[in-house]
Amino acid sequence: MSNSLCDSKIKREIQQRLSKAKPEKILWKCEAEGAVLLILNYHESGLTILLTKRSENLTHHKGQVAFPGGLIETTDSSPLKTALRETQEEIGLDPETIEILGELPKTATGSSLVLVSPFVAWGENLSNFKPNPREIEKIFEIPVDFLKQPNLFQKQLWNDGVQNHYLYFFDYQGDRVWGATAAILKKFIDLI
């Protein structure tokens, strides 16, 4: 099977599974809404997911691993537009170079009480990212096969000062991926 047939088949399968994803109950009240982009990057060597490490100079979530994205602004016409705008601002990715495959169930962050709409995008051999140094320390990719390892996602009880929550986390090349980012990755891996 040629690479273009193979990647088309993978892309179609992911789109079908995303279309069947059911909304999940959000367990606490959120104070804001945001949107992120889970970007699948298809290479001959395999499928990866693009992540960022946020700058230590930021006020919120400094130094954390995250998807490109951010809070919905009044000028954004939809959560998807927010995810695309923020991705372009943070990593310099032209929205024309990716295809939106669908949306995962919304996820609430425990620490900042943001209801996040995670969109899944497809790109092929994406490179030449331009991280905004005010927001992003680095951009990296995690192979989807790495995320499929049994028992990779660990669960820990966390108290936000009001109630207890279970948070997912795992380590990758010296960085801890946790909270909403890990939860969204787990939802995606469980779905595919």
DSSP β-ladder status, 65-66 and 175-178: unpaired
Q: What is the mean pLDDT of the chain?
A: 90
Cα(95)–Cα(135) distance, integer angstroms: 19
The 10s digit of each residue's pLDDT in 8-31 is 899 999 999 999 999 888 777 778
Q: Report all structural domains of the chain as residue ranges with CATH numbers, in order of start.
A: 3-191 (3.90.79.10)
pLDDT higher than threshold 80 for residue 183: yes
- Count CB-CB contacts under 10 A for residue 169: 18
The 10s digit of each residue's pLDDT in 70-93 is 999 999 999 999 999 999 999 999
pLDDT at 28: 72
Instruction: Give me the residue label for tokens 């995250």.
Output: 66
Instruction: Give me the residue label for tokens 């990758």.
Output: 172
